[in-house]
């Protein structure tokens, strides 16, 4: 045995503790990846946490690939061992409950080490209907935006925050205010390259290796590692009209939101390009940064009088001023917001899409970015959204004397989702996404938020509201089976087909 193999055998012995100590006699060391493992304390520490800063699992090693073949070799190597080690794929690790972490002496696969992957835009004009970008799974959406805008093109569906990896959001769903019209990001994929849980590199689409394609999209990393995605593109606008409409009545708010997302390709009507909603609770400090200083006092008074104010965030894209004023007027015509409480900004398309980054920079300057984030993200059927408003927003969040953080609520059209894909959605034509986005540096506040989250889930269960949790974790296998419901057998069968030794994505806790 040469020195490199000896060193690697020792490393694997450490890696697999308390596994068997292997020698070259009973397994073949893949020399090409021997130097890719790291036990540097700083690297291990970084891999032991995520954006949530709530769950901490230290991996045995971190694997830093320089090519897709390295990823394939790593997974094949694990499969070859009598006791395979688990592998957690980590992009930007914007997970909340340790989903990007490895457990039980596993390995974290650091996708950010794949330097040099380009966003390759197809050779087409901005007016073409067949434009697309081939994007590495580790590439950030902000880089996709920049590369496509250079060609006058853009993806159609986004997340609110763009400093996330393509593979990461496609492994979940990827939703934002465009999803009512274009569907989630997983509905906007033409092809994928995936390294399966067997270590096989497979190209797949709706027509080729479709079972893997449908499984991986929204599959929580259980079936393979996304190494390339082909994303359809459309002509990029240059500017946006960005509106906030304030409501003091929930029924009027939800009714108007549902009206705005009732866009149909066959109707000769003006369609919104983005629709979300948010809440202002009478729990200072209020975030009024969107609004002119001269209006802060009257907005504060409105919140104080009503307890909760509901805000529709409405955006219309445009390229010239000639038509957009009429389009905006058509969109807001007949909406029942509080009179005079309509606010408008004009921004560049990129400025709007990348709006959360400015907030990140502010929070980083205050030391409030890398703190615990006890978030709760759930999907709620339209038929029960008023019950949820009364039971949760009014009788839990408003009544408890803790800051509400950022609270989002907006409807989605289920017909924009492909039920062959892995995610589970409420079984109604329209369902609402509710995101309670909190951040705190206080351990006591983390516990209070987690307690409040649990109260919300228990309320929904007691009231018979069939919610679906999104970006969730820390569940038992029985709870995961309940989560997937009628899709559980398909999900488990796909696991058996593409990752039979249950190597991938241990942090989700679904099969480990």
Residues designated catalytic: 94, 160, 276
Of the chain, the end-to-end C-alpha distance in Å amounts to 35
Contact 438, 405 (CB under 8 A): yes
Q: What is the DSSP string of 6-22?
A: HHHHHHHHHHTTTSPPP
141, 319, 134: which is closest to 232 by C-alpha? 134
Q: How many CB atoms lie within 10 A of CB 38?
A: 18
- What is the SS3 assignment for 294? helix
Sheet holding 61-63, edge to edge: 37-38, 61-63, 107-110, 87-90
Contact 71, 167 (CB under 8 A): no
161, 314, 342, 183: which is closest to 247 by C-alpha? 342
Q: How far apart are CA 494 and CA 199, in angstroms?
A: 15
Contact 32, 70 (CB under 8 A): yes
296 token code pair: 């802060």
Q: Where are the alpha helices (DSSP H) in 197-249?
A: 210-216
113, 10, 22: which is closest to 63 by C-alpha? 113
Q: For residue 60, what are the CA distances in angstroms to 143, 283, 371, 429, 467?
A: 31, 44, 24, 45, 36
Phi, psi (degrees; rounded to nearest 5) at 228: -155, 140
Residue 208 gets which letter from DSSP? S
**H or E element in which residue 449 lies:** helix 443-462
């Amino acid at each position: 045995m040469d020195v490199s193999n000896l060193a690697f055998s020792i490393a694997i012995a450490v890696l697999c503790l308390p596994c068997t100590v292997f020698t070259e006699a009973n397994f073949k060391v893949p020399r090409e990846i021997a130097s890719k493992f790291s036990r540097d304390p700083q690297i291990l520490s970084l891999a032991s946490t995520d954006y949530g800063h709530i769950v901490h699992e230290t991996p045995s090693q971190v694997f830093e690939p320089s090519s897709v073949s390295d990823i394939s070799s790593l997974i094949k190597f694990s499969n070859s061992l009598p006791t395979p080690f688990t592998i957690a794929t980590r992009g930007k690790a914007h997970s909340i409950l340790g989903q990007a972490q490895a457990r039980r002496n596993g390995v974290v696969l650091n996708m950010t080490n794949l330097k040099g992957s380009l966003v390759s835009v197809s050779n087409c004009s901005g007016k073409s209907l067949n434009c697309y970008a081939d994007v590495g799974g580790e590439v950030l959406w902000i880089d996709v935006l920049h590369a496509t805008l250079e060609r006058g093109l853009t993806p159609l569906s986004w997340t609110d925050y763009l400093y996330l990896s393509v593979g990461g959001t496609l492994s979940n769903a990827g939703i934002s205010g465009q999803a009512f019209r274009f569907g989630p990001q997983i509905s906007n994929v033409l092809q994928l390259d995936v390294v399966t849980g067997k270590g096989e590199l497979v190209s797949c689409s709706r027509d080729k290796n479709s079972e893997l394609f449908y499984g991986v999209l929204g599959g929580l990393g259980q079936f393979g590692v996304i190494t390339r995605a082909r994303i359809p593109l459309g002509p990029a606008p240059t500017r946006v009209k960005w509106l906030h409409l304030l409501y003091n009545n929930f029924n009027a708010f939800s009714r108007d939101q549902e009206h705005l997302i009732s866009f149909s390709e066959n109707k000769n009507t003006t369609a919104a390009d983005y629709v979300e909603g948010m809440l202002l609770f009478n729990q200072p400090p209020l975030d009024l940064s969107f609004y002119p200083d001269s209006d802060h006092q009257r907005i504060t008074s409105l919140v104080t009088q009503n307890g909760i104010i509901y805000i529709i965030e409405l955006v219309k894209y445009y390229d010239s001023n000639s038509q957009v004023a009429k389009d905006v007027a058509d969109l807001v015509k007949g909406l029942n917001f509080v009179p005079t409480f309509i606010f408008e900004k004009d921004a560049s398309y990129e400025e709007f899409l990348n709006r959360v980054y400015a907030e990140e920079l502010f929070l980083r300057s205050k030391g409030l970015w890398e703190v615990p984030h006890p978030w709760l993200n759930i999907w709620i059927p339209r038929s029960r959204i008023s019950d949820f408003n009364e039971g949760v927003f009014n009788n839990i969040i408003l009544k408890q004397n803790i800051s509400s953080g950022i609270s989002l609520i907006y409807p989605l059209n289920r017909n924009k989702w492909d039920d062959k894909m892995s995610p589970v959605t409420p079984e109604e034509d329209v369902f609402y996404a509710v995101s309670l986005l909190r951040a705190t540096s206080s351990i006591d506040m983390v516990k209070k938020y987690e307690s409040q989250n649990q109260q919300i889930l228990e309320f929904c269960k007691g009231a018979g509201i069939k919610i679906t949790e999104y970006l969730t974790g820390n569940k038992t296998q029985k709870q995961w089976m309940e989560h997937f419901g009628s899709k559980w057998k398909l999900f488990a069968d796909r696991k058996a087909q593409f990752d039979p030794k249950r190597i991938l994505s241990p942090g989700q806790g679904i099969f480990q």
